[in-house]
Structure formats: structure tokens, C-alpha cells
């Protein structure tokens, strides 16, 4: 085959498959060396998932600068991550985005967001970074398979990718096609299938960080309610398995919010053994007696008003309506008519609001799906594949579990950087443009 004659215009130093955060980082860093880099992206736009992260605000990383504490969040995978994080860690992420003109701010639980509070700004900044370093893009292009060349006394070498619109030859390849959560953003697992066909061990993905569904109508009526601080006890057959304090969001399908999402994999395990109930304490810092005093004071102050018009002072309008409903009280009851027994019942429900859980939501609602490429098949010093040394694998494709809070995107920045830098080190003549 006379490759150079037939495919002269198609030859790249590097082809990065997937234009998400990990792919954009790897491409920009590799291209900074002067290498000719192409991003192949299935969608008609880049960074579709990145643009919806963090509820539209993008929790870009977590400002825990102690590497040991930071890596605790990746479970068993942490031992693989010391090396890449020593090359590009949390502080580097802060500096990197600052140089891109997108300074970060740190919020509760050390979660870092762009100061502009807009995830689309992060996508724009990453695309500009890639463009400034002369990365080329081919959109609406889907990877179908790798073309290999057998090597005498060496592992097979990937020489090209076959896409829906033809073959693209390159010297190096970066796989950054993401996991399987939120498939409508493009990461539908097709990259895993391509790797599987090329001999990789792929752990089956399951939805991991995911909201919980409830069939209770009253829960769905609370959609949009999000009291900021409460305790949830996750119960089965009357026994509390674990409890967490934080933020819960009621939705039209059940429960979401950081507290719920970070409990979901544990709940998924519990659901295998039977029904699960989440018992929510709306006032974790106030005991029954204190809460009763607050309620009595409120009722005394507004004796001649309807309960439904004064209870919102304590819990907001929507929750107030549902608490009255769950207590079996009439919506039109006056404050002065509330019996001690009815008051106690109301207090009891505020301290033990029982939400029946019917399941976990599917991949379409998942933030992260676990599963992916077996870590033993990657050299984490470089993010190179051990099966095909001219391929690197980064981001959500890796079989690494982690909680919410910026840990997924940091994994993309870190692994994307390390792969890009390893390739860049092979080229000379360019200069990296970050600012
Ligand atoms: C709703 C939601 C909110 C989130 N919020 C946060 C957050 O605030 N903080 C955080 O740290 N993490 C968050 N995450 C997780 C984070 O978005 C992911 O970890 C991250 O996007 C993974 O980046 P990636 O580059 O590996 O893959 P992706 O972002 O999934 O990008 C992969 C790209 O590859 C393309 N592709 C796939 N298959 C092919 C193919 N065969 N050929 C060509 N192209 C292909 C896709 O179209 C896609 O553009 C959130 C996820 C979701 C779903």
C-alpha cells in the first residue's frame, strides 16, 4: 500500500477521537508541540456534555490540594492516579483556566466553578485553547473501528481509524469517547465496543451517580423544592443502613441533589434485597421539643389564620401543603383549631418524612456510569495503552468510580494533559499557547 500517495491529505500526527473535556485537553496539549492534530467528533458540536455539567455551572474541579486526600475519592483506582496527578493536579487546573481567562471560584465542599458560573464558558475556553494550538476538527464523524498493522516482534500498531466518512491515518491516537451516562450528549458507549473488538477488557457500565425514583405522587408534586440542609436515613425493613446530611432536590420523578446522587450506588445495592425508604429530617439541628416550641410560637402569633398560610414560614409553600396532606389534616384548618396531637403528628413528619424509593434512574439521568477500560491495560505514567503503544486512553473511558464534586472533570483534565504531553514530547518546533 502506498499510504502517502493515497492519503496525503489525511495524514495526521495525532487523531483524538471524542471532543469532550478529556479529548480537547489532550488535543490542545499535543498540538502545542507543533504536531498536526485532528479531533474526530460524532456530534455536530464539541463538548456537549461539558456544557451541561454542574447544573449549567460546571463544577470544574475540587479545591482539595492535598493529593492523598483528593485521591481518596477514587477508591481502589487511587494507586494508579498518583503518577498522572503529580504531572497535572488540582493547582495546575486552577492555573490552566486562569491562563485561559476563566478564573475559578471555590464554593461549599471545596467545589470549584468558573467565576462566570457558566459551563458553556468552559466549553468555549477549551475549544479556543485547541484552536489556538491549531487543532483541526472533523464533526459529525463517527469512529467505527481501528485499522491495524502487524509488526514483526512487536505489538500490533494502529495505523488508522475507519469512520462513517472514510479512513483517517495517523501516527498516534487518543481515545476520549467518554462513558455511557447521558447518552444524548454523544457518549453512547460505541467507543467501548470499538475497544472491545480490538481486544480490550471492558467492564460493563452501570449507572452510578444517579437520581432515585419514587412512585409517591406527593413526592412528584414537590418537584423543584430543594431545602439546602437536611439529613436522610436510608432504611430497609425498618433498619437504617446509612445516613447522610446535605442537599436534596425533589423532582418530577423522585429525588435528586448531591446527597441523593452520592448515595445512589449504595441504594442500588440495597434495592437488590427489597424496598428502600428515605427518611428525611427537614430540621436536623432542631430536636422534636425545640421544633414544637417554634411551631407553637408561630401558631400563637397567627391564631386566626389558616395553617396552610402560616406553615410556609417554616418550610416553604409546596412542602407546607404536602406536610398538611400527609398529616391527614384539612387544608382549611385554622391555627387555633390545631390539636396538640395534630401538632405532634406534623412535627413527627417534619423529622421523619418517609419517601418510598422505587429504583434508580437510568443512564439518561446518570452523571457517571462506572465500568470502562480495565486499568491494568493502561500505563498511567503516560496514559498509553499497553496493548497498542501508539494509543492513549483518557477521561470517562477509564474504569474509575468517583463521587460528584468535580472529581470526574479533574480526571479528564489530568489524564488528557498527561496523554497530550506524552505525545507532545515526541515533537518539536511548536509552542504551547494557553493564554
Ligand atoms: C448532567 C451531568 C452533569 C455533570 N456535572 C459534572 C460536574 O459538575 N463536575 C464533574 O466533574 N463532572 C460532571 N459530570 C461528569 C462529566 O461531564 C464527565 O466526566 C465528562 O464529560 C467526561 O469527559 P470525556 O471527555 O471523557 O467524555 P464526554 O464528555 O462524554 O465526551 C466524549 C465525546 O466523544 C464523542 N463520541 C462518542 N463516541 C464517539 C464515536 N464513536 N466517534 C466519535 N466521537 C464519539 C461524544 O459525542 C462526546 O462528545 C456530569 C455529567 C452529567 C451527565
Q: Which residues of 87-106 are buried (b: 16+ CB within 10 A; e: fewer)?
A: ebbbebbbebbeebebebee
Q: Are residues 226 and 259 in the same domain?
A: yes
Q: Which atom of ligand 1 is nearest to the CA of 185?
A: 47
φ, ψ of residue 274 in degrees (nearest 5)? 140, -175
Q: Are residues 372 and 329 in the same domain?
A: no
In a domain, 235, yes or no: yes
- Check residue 4 and give its pLDDT: 36
Mean pLDDT of the chain: 93
Ligand 1 pocket (Cβ < 6 Å) reads 17-23, 40-43, 48-50, 52-54, 58-59, 142-143, 176-178, 181-182, 186-187, 190-191, 367-368, 395-396, 406-409, 412
**Confidence label for 230 from pLDDT (cuts 50, 70 and 90):** very high
- Check residue 328 and give its pLDDT: 94
Instruction: State yes or no: pLDDT of 32 exceeds 80.
Output: yes
In a domain, 432, yes or no: no
From the CA of 181, how far away is ligand 1's center (Å)? Answer: 8
From the CA of 50, how far away is ligand 1's center (Å)? Answer: 6
Q: Which atom of ligand 1 is nearest to the CA of 181?
A: 53
Could you say which of 344, 360, 376 is where a domain stops? 360
Instruction: State yes or no: pLDDT of 148 exceeds 80.
Output: yes
Residue nearest to atom 33 of ligand 1 (CA): 18
Residue nearest to atom 6 of ligand 1 (CA): 53
Q: Are residues 380 and 301 in the same domain?
A: no
**Cβ contacts of 318 within 8 Å, gap of 6 or more:** 221, 222, 224, 225
Q: Are residues 261 and 355 in the same domain?
A: yes
Structure confidence by residue, pLDDT tens digits, 85-123 = 999 999 999 999 999 999 999 998 899 999 999 999 999
Q: Are residues 302 and 385 in the same domain?
A: no
In a domain, 433, yes or no: no
Q: Which atom of ligand 1 is nearest to the CA of 18?
A: 34
Structure confidence by residue, pLDDT tens digits, 310-357 = 999 999 999 999 999 999 999 899 999 999 999 999 999 999 999 999
Q: What is the DSSP string of 260-305?
A: HHTTHHHHHHHHTTS-EEEEEES-TTS-HHHHHHHHHHHHHHTTTS
| pTM attached to this predicted model | 0.85
From the CA of 315, how far away is ligand 1's center (Å)? Answer: 36
Amino acid at each position: 500500500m502506498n499510504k502517502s500517495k493515497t492519503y496525503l491529505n489525511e495524514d495526521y500526527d495525532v487523531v483524538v477521537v471524542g471532543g469532550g473535556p478529556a479529548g480537547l485537553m489532550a488535543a490542545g496539549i499535543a498540538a502545542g508541540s507543533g504536531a498536526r492534530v485532528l479531533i474526530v467528533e460524532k456530534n455536530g458540536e464539541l463538548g456537549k456534555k461539558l456544557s451541561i455539567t454542574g447544573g449549567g455551572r460546571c463544577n470544574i474541579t475540587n479545591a482539595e490540594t492535598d493529593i492523598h486526600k483528593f485521591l481518596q475519592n477514587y477508591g481502589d483506582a487511587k494507586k494508579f492516579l498518583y503518577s498522572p496527578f503529580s504531572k497535572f493536579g488540582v493547582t495546575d487546573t486552577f492555573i490552566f483556566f486562569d491562563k485561559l481567562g476563566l478564573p475559578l471560584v471555590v464554593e461549599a465542599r471545596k467545589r470549584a466553578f468558573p467565576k462566570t458560573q457558566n459551563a458553556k464558558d468552559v466549553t468555549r475556553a477549551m475549544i479556543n485553547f485547541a484552536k489556538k494550538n491549531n487543532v483541526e476538527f472533523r464533526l459529525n464523524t463517527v469512529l467505527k473501528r481501528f485499522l491495524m498493522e502487524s509488526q514483526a516482534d512487536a505489538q500490533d500498531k494502529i495505523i488508522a481509524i475507519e469512520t462513517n466518512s472514510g479512513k483517517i491515518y495517523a501516527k498516534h491516537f487518543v481515545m476520549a469517547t467518554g462513558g455511557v451516562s447521558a447518552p444524548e450528549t454523544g457518549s453512547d458507549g460505541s467507543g467501548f465496543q470499538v475497544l472491545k473488538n480490538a481486544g480490550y477488557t471492558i467492564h460493563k457500565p452501570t449507572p452510578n451517580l444517579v437520581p432515585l425514583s419514587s412512585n409517591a405522587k406527593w413526592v412528584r408534586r414537590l418537584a423543584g423544592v430543594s431545602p439546602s440542609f437536611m439529613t436522610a436515613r436510608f432504611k430497609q425493613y425498618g433498619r437504617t443502613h446509612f445516613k447522610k446530611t446535605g442537599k436534596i432536590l425533589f423532582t418530577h420523578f423522585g429525588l435528586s441533589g448531591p446527597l441523593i446522587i452520592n448515595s445512589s450506588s449504595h441504594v442500588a445495592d440495597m434495592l437488590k434485597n427489597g424496598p428502600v425508604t428515605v427518611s428525611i429530617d427537614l430540621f436536623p439541628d432542631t430536636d422534636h421539643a425545640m421544633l414544637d416550641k417554634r411551631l407553637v410560637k408561630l401558631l400563637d402569633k397567627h391564631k386566626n389564620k389558616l395553617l396552610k398560610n402560616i406553615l410556609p414560614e417554616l418550610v416553604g409553600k409546596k412542602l407546607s401543603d404536602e406536610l398538611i396532606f400527609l398529616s391527614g389534616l384539612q387544608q382549611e384548618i385554622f391555627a387555633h383549631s390545631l390539636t396538640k396531637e395534630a401538632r405532634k403528628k406534623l412535627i413527627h413528619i417534619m423529622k421523619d418524612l418517609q419517601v418510598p424509593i422505587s429504583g434508580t434512574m437510568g443512564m439518561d439521568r446518570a452523571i457517571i456510569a462506572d465500568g470502562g477500560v480495565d486499568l491494568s491495560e493502561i500505563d498511567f505514567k503516560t496514559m498509553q495503552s499497553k496493548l497498542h503503544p501508539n494509543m492513549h486512553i483518557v477521561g470517562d473511558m477509564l474504569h474509575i468510580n468517583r463521587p460528584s464534586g468535580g472529581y470526574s472533570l479533574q480526571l479528564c483534565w489530568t489524564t488528557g494533559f498527561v496523554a497530550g504531553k506524552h505525545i507532545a514530547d515526541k515533537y518539536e518546533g511548536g509552542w504551547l499557547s494557553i493564554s
